[in-house]
Structure 1
Amino acid sequence: MRSLRLMAALAATSLLVGCSSLDMLNPFSTPAPKMAPLPAFNPTATLTPAWSAKVGEADIYRFEPAVVDGEVIAAGANGEVARLASGQTRWRVRIDGGLTAGVGADAALAVVADGRGEVIGLDATSGSERWRSQVNAEVLAAPGVAKDFVVVRSSDNRVFGLDRKDGKVLWTYKRTTPALTLRNPSGMLIENNVAVLGFPGGKLAAFDLNNGGLIWELSVALPAGATELERIADVVGDPVLHRQTLCAAAFQGRVSCFDITNGKTLWSRPLSARGGISRDVRQIYVTEDADAVSALDAFSGASMWRQDQLARRGLSAPLAVEAGVVVGDAEGYVHLLSRENGAFIARAQADGSGIDVAPRPLGDLVVVQTRAGGIHVFQPR
């Protein structure tokens, strides 16, 4: 029965021939079970369109925008990178060779990765190219940009530390990869000169960016099952830090929270996550691989509510905002759920193409990027 449930959950994915990963990047290109119809409800809030713009389509990759100083820097598979302010283009450049991942950025530097294994640093204020660095690896996740470093992870789970001034590779971290993993662009959390990344096998690891040294490793989930398919337990999405509590989720695994002062597990509960998690002061929100959105008590892991009326709609990871919990789906709908009980309180549509990356906060607005390359900003209230 477990195998049957797993195969149903993976019905929208394809197994890559000759590779050791399951492709969860583009579930919209393969036949899938019929989506649940959009539930009817009486709106008690609004998702008002604020502005929109366009970059390149996602193709077979997944692109997430970066938010810098109240503006959006976004990219597409055709190599286009643009900085957008209230729908107006501040700058727009085209990088030869196409791109494979979203943008990592801060106020001064924007970083992308191309299809030739190069990482490219751009001036965040003008779009001019600063440097190129060859890592000879496919990059699926947006690079992380820290004060002195750029952190890049490859699809074979190597981690590269680059000097942000010139892109020089300063160190490389390698680890053994399980026989079968998700082709999933897991992100990272960077605080000061420490980066926290999730890995296949349910592991969460922290690195010293000065030298790439492993500081600690924690287990979000442990692989279980008789087959390699059943034993996939990859950490998905970005880890979330709130004060001294670090939380993460794993596909076909668990959601776990840790005390970072001593590495102690505060709580852990079985749940198969489709994407990353989000949290507010009281609750953690997670999109399950069954396309349900669940809220867990942030201090105990107890179930608070579960919204399961969006089955098979290819949901993104959630984003908790003041007005509610925002999640996108495969038809480009943006749903706003009540933080109190998960009820639908507002809905809007972007451009009709899928939203498979988590919405991003933009001040009191929310930005989503669709597979068609649409950048759509909404005001939830």
Structure 2
Amino acid sequence: MSAVRRSAKALAAGAVLAAALALAGCGSSKPKPAELGPPVALLPVHQAWHAQLGSVAGMVLVPAVHGEAVVLASEGGTVTGLDARTGGGLWRVQLDARLAAGVGTDGRRTAVVSKERQLIVIENGAEKWRRQLPAQTFTAPLVAGGRVFVMTGDRAVMAFDGETGYRLWNQQRQGEPLVLQASGLLTAVGDTLVAGLSGRMVGFDPDTGAIRWEAPLATPRGSNDVERLVELLGGVSREGNVLCARAFQAAVGCVDASRGALLWTRPAHGAQGVGGDAEALYGSESSGTVQAWKRADGAPLWTHEQLRYRSLTAPLVLGRSVVIGDETGQVHLLSREDGAPLNRLSTDSSGVAATPVAAGKTLVVVTRQGGVYGFRPD
């Protein structure tokens, strides 16, 4: 469920709009999902381990993977690295802060953001430094190249020195008066830092913050602030230099990030990011329909309707399956070829909190109450 917040000064003060977006499928009159029946395990998978983290329901969690390790954080300030092969703890830090967003890591340094708008960096199992941010952020920091990059809710992109926490540069962009309480687009493609700003994919020089290119995936339209909200969402699909993403409730599209050229865009109505492979792009629409598009030009490939009204996560492409979690804690494995069900896995009933991730041969799923589940193929 995506909520909306006021941008700029109101966001910096933590002001919240009164309602979550009905547009995102969160309205009280949401139709009842259809019964799924017993799962058919055409792709045999078993639960290998289970760990407990702490509730993540009040933060925007993006699990970070580095090799066989997965790094997670709870709203209560616990940040931990787990061995995805066994579920055993590699390290654990308890911060004196409640967290709003995370996690970013390069395997050496790990970064999260607190509800008090502090960027906190951890190294060698201990807090290394923290810096006050000018506004709240719901996007996990990006840790790369000895730096920590942050995108705040008022559309500022900043770079900090990973060793000292010194702010290297700050780029501020004027935008719409609302922002999503959801993970935005912040990633690296080659030597370019890529951020999503008000419907546009923007490429930055990571050393100076200078803008190299801009590519519009969607243009704000509508008669009110909510209808004009077209933020680019976190959860992207990259193949080489081509980066594909979703603009909230507006479109999906792909950009050649080596030169900032928009390759294609197609109307789509979803509130979660996308996944993909070399041939296709996959996404869950706000209705719960799962859609596949041809990666080359955006032509529709298939549609899966059985998961409608289940508040789905963004998809993960893993092997021959598309993996999607839902609000009841079920994890659905669909065929990449045609969307046919391959298996259904169970966690707890609190709901899947973030897009599932793959660490080595393990599928890792985190629930809202902090259950962490590791699944492996038989």
TM-score if structure 1 supplies the norm length? Answer: 0.89
Contact 2:253 2:266 survives alignment (8 Å): yes
Deviations 1:11-32 (A, max 9, x none): x6666587576756xx999846
Contact 2:62 2:140 survives alignment (8 Å): yes
User: Which of 78, 95, 102 does residue 80 from structure 1 map onto?
Assistant: 78
User: Which of 364, 373, 376 does residue 373 from structure 2 map onto?
Assistant: 376
Deviations 1:141-200 (A, max 9, x none): 111011121101112221110101111111111111202332222132213442111122
- Measured at CA, do residues 325 and 120 of structure 1 come closer, stay the same or move farther in structure 2, by a change above 3 Å? same
Task: Give the structure 2 partner of residue 6 of structure 1.
Answer: none
| Aligned-partner Cα distance in 2 for 1:299–1:42 | 32
Contact 1:315 1:328 survives alignment (8 Å): yes
User: Which of 159, 162, 172 does residue 160 from structure 2 map onto?
Assistant: 162
1:64 aligns with 2:42: no
Task: Give the structure 2 partner of residue 92 of structure 1.
Answer: 92
Task: Give the structure 2 partner of residue 311 of structure 1.
Answer: 308
| Aligned-partner Cα distance in 1 for 2:82–2:296 | 38
Task: Give the structure 1 partner of residue 115 of structure 2.
Answer: 115
- Measured at CA, do residues 51 and 309 of structure 1 come closer, stay the same or move farther in structure 2, by a change above 3 Å? same
Secondary structure of the corresponding residue to residue 306 of structure 2:
coil
User: Which of 250, 253, 272 does residue 253 from structure 1 map onto?
Assistant: 250
Secondary structure of the corresponding residue to residue 77 of structure 1:
coil
Structure 1 residue 102 displacement after superposition: 1.9
User: Which of 137, 142, 148 does residue 139 from structure 1 map onto?
Assistant: 137
Structure 1 residue 299 displacement after superposition: 0.8
Task: Give the structure 2 partner of residue 235 of structure 1.
Answer: 232
Contact 1:314 1:356 survives alignment (8 Å): no
Deviations 1:325-379 (A, max 9, x none): 0000001110000011101110011121111421111112211211111111112
Q: Structure 2: where are the runs of 5+ without partners? A: none
| Aligned-partner Cα distance in 2 for 1:167–1:186 | 22
| Aligned-partner Cα distance in 1 for 2:215–2:26 | 35
Contact 1:147 1:193 survives alignment (8 Å): no
1:171 aligns with 2:163: no
Contact 1:28 1:354 survives alignment (8 Å): no
Task: Give the structure 2 partner of residue 333 of structure 1.
Answer: 330
Secondary structure of the corresponding residue to residue 233 of structure 2:
strand
| Aligned-partner Cα distance in 2 for 1:73–1:33 | 34
| Aligned-partner Cα distance in 2 for 1:208–1:326 | 34
- Measured at CA, do residues 16 and 234 of structure 1 come closer, stay the same or move farther in structure 2, by a change above 3 Å? closer
Report the more deviating stretch, 130-139 or 342-351: 130-139
CA RMSD across the alignment: 2.3
| Aligned-partner Cα distance in 1 for 2:29–2:362 | 32
| Aligned-partner Cα distance in 1 for 2:324–2:282 | 10
Superposition pairs of residues 278-293 of structure 1, within 5 angstroms: 278-293=275-290
TM-score if structure 2 supplies the norm length? Answer: 0.90
1:204 aligns with 2:177: no
Secondary structure of the corresponding residue to residue 100 of structure 2:
coil
Task: Give the structure 2 partner of residue 53 of structure 1.
Answer: 51
- Measured at CA, do residues 261 and 103 of structure 1 come closer, stay the same or move farther in structure 2, by a change above 3 Å? closer
User: Which of 271, 274, 279 does residue 271 from structure 2 map onto?
Assistant: 274
- Measured at CA, do residues 367 and 244 of structure 1 come closer, stay the same or move farther in structure 2, by a change above 3 Å? same
| Aligned-partner Cα distance in 2 for 1:326–1:157 | 31
- Measured at CA, do residues 15 and 210 of structure 1 come closer, stay the same or move farther in structure 2, by a change above 3 Å? closer
| Aligned-partner Cα distance in 2 for 1:101–1:320 | 24
Structure 1 residue 33 displacement after superposition: 2.1
Contact 1:153 1:160 survives alignment (8 Å): yes
| Aligned-partner Cα distance in 2 for 1:121–1:351 | 31
Q: Give the letter aligned to residue 349 of structure 1.
A: S
Task: Give the structure 2 partner of residue 194 of structure 1.
Answer: 192
Contact 2:4 2:20 survives alignment (8 Å): yes
| Aligned-partner Cα distance in 2 for 1:154–1:23 | 20
Q: Give the letter aligned to residue 104 of structure 2.
A: G
Deviations 1:208-227 (A, max 9, x none): 11111111111011222233
| Aligned-partner Cα distance in 1 for 2:357–2:305 | 23
Task: Give the structure 2 partner of residue 358 of structure 1.
Answer: 355
Q: Structure 1: where are the runs of 5+ without partners? A: 1-11
Contact 2:20 2:26 survives alignment (8 Å): no
- Measured at CA, do residues 32 and 374 of structure 1 come closer, stay the same or move farther in structure 2, by a change above 3 Å? farther
